[in-house]
Amino acid sequence: MLGLDPAKIAFFVEVLVSGLLSGVLYAMVALGFVLIFKASGVFNFAQGAMVLVAGLALVRALGWLEPRAPFWPALMLAIAFSGALMTGIAWGVERFALRKLVNQTALTLFMATIGITFVLEGLGQQIFGAQVYKLDIGLPRESLFVLESVFDGGILLNQLDLWSAVLAALLVVALAVFFQRTQVGRALRAVADDHAAAQSVGIPLTRVWFIVWMVAGFVAIAAAAAWGSKVGVQFSLVYVALKALPVIIVGGLTSIPGAIVGGLLIGAGEKLAEVYLGTAIGGGIEQWFAYVVALLVLLVRPQGLFGDRIIERI
């Protein structure tokens, strides 16, 4: 094959695939951002904290229910509990923050979401505890070897990552259906296009905000389930959200497919850069590689790959 060592190709593919799969996880967090930005123009910094709170609620509820009930009903109940909590948070955010900040600049709203982040982090850890919790939602964890006929020794895959990818795909399909086929979805798209026009035809802005934060909360539960199974539920989930920022910059702030493609690009690029460049300049470049990519994309194409063009008028 092009005169290259098959073992090297196999290693490259392995790195690439593991990068793509972790990119799926970034994309799941990025989806929450995009949803809220699309429907309300708020750059939601609190998405990371929502993932943390959703994960903590899920893992603690599951831990309490597991000895008392069979596994699957316990899991469903835990998810329901976490969903109810996220609904409550969405209501609180809309009622006590966004509603009071109507007509403020995007920057003010952004800073308000930083405030929300801190409230959620503080309260979440106070209520649910700040340790590292192990989350097992019944996904298989064994490693898998594929393509053994092509490459010597095959390519190592993590089943958990594959299942996360499936979960993410289902989530995207569900969101697409929700946005395109339901009445609420249509209202959300109308508000995204033009707040004032939507309001004048009788779409209640406050309810739309509540719904969209709730949906973002459910996305946060899915992201928390996937991330939590991989690395445990802990405070560092908040930093996963910081990884999602470059993803949406690359993909475009307003595009759901953009979040997915951006996630895959960042995930794969990051792992490849770490393996092939990182050894040359000291390692650990995963920390900033995504941001530098985002910076370059911003300089060349500020709206990202799939985003709406930014037009300013005086």
Partner 1 sequence: MFYREAGHFHDRYREDMAIFPIREDRIGIRVLLAIAFVAVPLLHVAGVPPFAGDYLFSAVLVPLLILSVAGIGLNLLVGYCGQISLGAGAFMGVGAYAAYDVSVHLPGMPLIATFLLAGAASAVIGLVFGMPSLRIKGLYLAVATLAAQFFLDWAFLRVGWITNYSPSGSVTAPALAVAGWQVDTPVERYLLVLAIAALVALGASNLVRGNLGRQWMAIRDMDIAAEIIGIRPVQAKLTAFAVSSFILGLAGALWAFVNLRSWEPYAFSIDRSFQLLFLVIIGGLGSIIGCFLGAAFIWLLPLAVEGVPRWLSIPISADAASNLTLGVFGALILLTLIFEPHGLARIWAVAKHKLRRWPFPY
What are the C-alpha distances in Å from 201 to residues 164, 193, 255? 40, 13, 25
The residue within the footprint of partner 1, chosen from 1, 183, 282, 309 (CB under 8 A), is 282
118 or 145: CB nearest partner 1? 118
**Smallest separation (angstroms) from partner 1 to the CB of 222:** 24
In sequence order, the 6+-apart residues with CB closer than 8 A to the CB of 199 are: 205
The residue within the footprint of partner 1, chosen from 16, 83, 125, 305 (CB under 8 A), is 125
Residue 299, interface with partner 1 (CB under 8 A)? yes
Residue 108, interface with partner 1 (CB under 8 A)? yes
Q: Which stretches of 182-232 are DSSP H helices?
A: 183-193, 195-200, 205-231
Contact predicate 86/46, CB 8 Å: no
Nearest Cα neighbor of 270 from 12, 8, 10, 16 is 16
Residue 180, interface with partner 1 (CB under 8 A)? no
196 or 314: CB nearest partner 1? 314
Residue 190, interface with partner 1 (CB under 8 A)? no
76 or 295: CB nearest partner 1? 295
24 or 250: CB nearest partner 1? 250
What are the C-alpha distances in Å from 74 to residues 29, 51, 53, 293? 25, 20, 19, 42
Residue 242, interface with partner 1 (CB under 8 A)? yes
Rounded CA-CA distance 241/47 in Å is 7
Judged by CB under 8 A, the stretch of 52-60, 101-109, 182-190, 212-220 that binds partner 1 is: 101-109
Rounded CA-CA distance 30/46 in Å is 12
**# binding residues, partner 1 (CB under 8 A):** 44
The residue within the footprint of partner 1, chosen from 11, 64, 110, 178 (CB under 8 A), is 110
The residue within the footprint of partner 1, chosen from 15, 119, 184, 272 (CB under 8 A), is 119
Q: Are strands 143-146 and 155-158 parallel, antiparallel or unpaired?
A: antiparallel
Tell me, what amino acid is at 68? R
Rounded CA-CA distance 102/285 in Å is 40
Residue 280, interface with partner 1 (CB under 8 A)? no
Residue holding tokens 């539960």? 221
88 or 302: CB nearest partner 1? 302
Tell me, what amino acid is at 164? S
Instruction: Give, for 146, the enclosing helix (H) or strand (E).
Output: strand 143-146
- What SS3 class is residue 221? helix
Residue 240, interface with partner 1 (CB under 8 A)? no
Residue 122, interface with partner 1 (CB under 8 A)? yes
10 or 120: CB nearest partner 1? 120
Residue 59, interface with partner 1 (CB under 8 A)? no
**Smallest separation (angstroms) from partner 1 to the CB of 178:** 26
Nearest Cα neighbor of 135 from 14, 18, 54 is 54
Point out which residues bind partner 1 (CB under 8 A). Answer: 43, 96-97, 100-101, 104, 106-108, 110-112, 114-123, 125-126, 130, 242, 245-246, 249, 282-285, 287-288, 291-292, 294-295, 298-299, 302, 312, 314
